Amino acid sequence: MTGSEELADRFEEHRGHLKAVAYRMLGSLSEAEDAVQEAWLKLGRTDADDIHNLGGWLTTVTGRVCLDLLRSRTARREEPMGDTQDTVRAFVPDPVLRPLSHLDPAEEVLHADSVGLALLVVLENLAPDERLAFVLHDMFAVPFDDIAPIVERSPAATRQLASRARRRVRGATPSAEPDLGRQKQVLDAFLAASRGGDFEALLEVLHPDVVLRADSGALVRGAAASKVVQGAKAVAERALMFARYAQAAQLVLVNGSVGVVHAPEGRVQSVMGVTITDGRITGMYILADPERLERLEAPGLTW
């Protein structure tokens, strides 16, 4: 085996970890892949013999690439709508899908670090430097001494970045039902009420302050469709408007929690993740952007 082949093998050992870092930083699976690839290219331009901790080096390099991407984003991924409520940012991160039927305890251990869509939405609202400090330190235990050079701050100032981010995350991230069986019961009830056009049953399964975020990407037939809707009545009315989608819906795991995919005739038209608390849905995150859904990975899933 040549030196380059050995280095490539060593890099592949870290690829999954690096993609997890980049996904949490960017909320985009395709951009995460690009960031990991850029880390590989940077490694190829570096004397690997001078790297004493390859995993740590790759993690910080990937973090720096992601930070540059976050700083360079000038256009938001959703368009403002007509009224005040609709102007709220409706971005929904790329979902990670897995089959619900194949779940077993051993597999769940492997995915125990799944990050929910609700947390990724909160991370999207952090400043780039705060997001980097929080993700690398709180999620991947990277020391502040290693993060500080990336954000060009002292370790103490970097610690403050992470602390501010941590407070915002704790204040904005809702508590969630951890039991997949109870999650499934709630979503089964939601889908049954939607399919049956039962408005009162929908109100029973929705929290009074439920928030729905629908990210449809670019304009649809000349009109922007992405929006944020708040309140059980408004969300229930929307669920009834799109009751036909519930007919072709199936349950899957979305970022480690039970969610819904709508894929009539084998083509995914939307993915919905939810947050469930005390038996009611408190948050709904719907991705219906055709371009992003086209690139979505769904290993083990058939429609």
Question: What are the pLDDT tens digits along the chain (303 aa)?
Answer: 567 888 899 999 999 999 999 999 999 999 999 999 999 999 989 888 889 899 999 999 999 999 999 998 744 444 444 444 444 468 899 999 988 865 555 444 445 457 899 999 999 989 999 999 999 999 999 999 999 999 999 999 999 999 999 999 988 877 889 889 999 999 999 999 999 999 999 999 999 999 999 998 865 544 456 789 999 999 999 999 887 777 888 999 999 899 999 988 878 889 999 999 999 999 999 999 988 998 887 776 776
Q: Which residue from 48, 22, 25, 46 is spatially nearest to 33, judged by alpha carbons?
A: 22
pTM: 0.85
| In CATH, 180-295 is 3.90.1150.10 | no
Q: What are the domain boundaries of the chain? A: 180-295
Q: How far is CA 278 from the centre of its chain?
A: 23
At 22 the pLDDT is: 96
Residue 229, phi then psi, degrees to nearest 5: -120, 135
At 197 the pLDDT is: 93
At 245 the pLDDT is: 75
At 243 the pLDDT is: 79
Distance CA 221, CA 58 (A): 43
Let me know how long the chain is.
303
Burial (CB < 10 A; 0-12, 13-18, 19+), residue 83, is exposed
Q: Hey, what's the torsion of the CAs at 20, 47, 152, 18, to 10 degrees?
A: 0
User: Taking CA 202 as the corner, what is the angle to CA 200 and CA 205, rounded to the nearest 5 degrees?
Assistant: 115
